[in-house]
Structure formats: structure tokens, C-alpha cells
């Protein structure tokens, strides 16, 4: 089932605006629903809600229907924004 990224972004923005503790739980739950990670892993890797938002942006690019080269170009053009997220993910994998 394809993800509606506009709705996803809207939901993430709404969640971020809510209280910190509830936000962390809701964000982790929403992100874990489109990844192979658990809520707990999301919260451990990305304790800052702003980082979860960056992860969501990265996931939107990765899961898009664009061809591989366009995805790479978009990721490279946002490398500074995604750098910390990529590092956290790769440390988890290694």
C-alpha cells in the first residue's frame, strides 16, 4: 500500500506540535509503521522530534516512485540535513 506523503507530513507536523512525551510516542509509532524498526528503536535512535521529522523526509525520498538517480540527487542535495540521521541508521546496522 503506497504512503500518501502529504498526509504523512501533515500528521507528523501535527504530532510535533503536541506535548513532548506524547509526541515522542506518537512519532515513534508513526515512523515504525513504515519501517522495520520498533517504536522503542525509533525513540532510542532519534530522541529529538526534529530528527524524527528529518527521518520522515528521508523516508519520503527513499520510498518515492522516482528513479534511483533522482533519489540520490535529492538525498545528496539535502546531505547536511540528513547526515545525522544517516549516521544513526548506519551505526544501528553495524
Residue 11 pLDDT > 90, yes or no? no
Count of structural domains within the chain: 1
Q: What is the spatial distance between Cα 29 and Cα 31, in angstroms, rounded to a whole number?
A: 6
Interacting residues of 32 by C-beta distance below 8 A, sequence separation 6+:
38, 39, 41, 42
Q: Please report the pLDDT score of residue 52 as a whole number.
A: 87
Q: Domain range spanning residue 29? A: 5-93
Nearest of 54, 67, 70, 62 to residue 3 by alpha carbon: 62
Interacting residues of 35 by C-beta distance below 8 A, sequence separation 6+:
42, 59
Q: pLDDT tens-digit profile of 33-90?
A: 888 889 889 888 888 888 988 998 999 999 999 999 999 999 999 999 999 999 999 9
Amino acid at each position: 500500500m503506497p504512503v500518501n506523503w502529504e498526509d504523512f507530513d501533515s500528521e507528523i507536523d501535527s504530532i510535533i506540535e503536541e506535548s513532548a512525551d506524547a509526541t515522542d510516542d506518537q512519532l515513534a509509532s508513526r515512523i515504525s509503521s513504515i519501517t522495520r524498526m520498533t517504536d522503542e528503536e525509533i525513540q532510542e535512535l532519534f530522541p529529538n522530534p526534529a530528527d524524527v521529522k528529518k527521518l520522515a523526509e528521508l523516508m519520503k525520498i527513499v520510498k518515492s516512485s522516482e528513479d534511483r538517480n533522482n533519489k540520490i540527487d535529492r538525498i545528496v542535495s539535502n546531505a547536511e540535513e540528513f547526515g545525522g540521521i544517516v549516521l544513526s541508521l548506519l551505526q544501528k546496522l553495524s
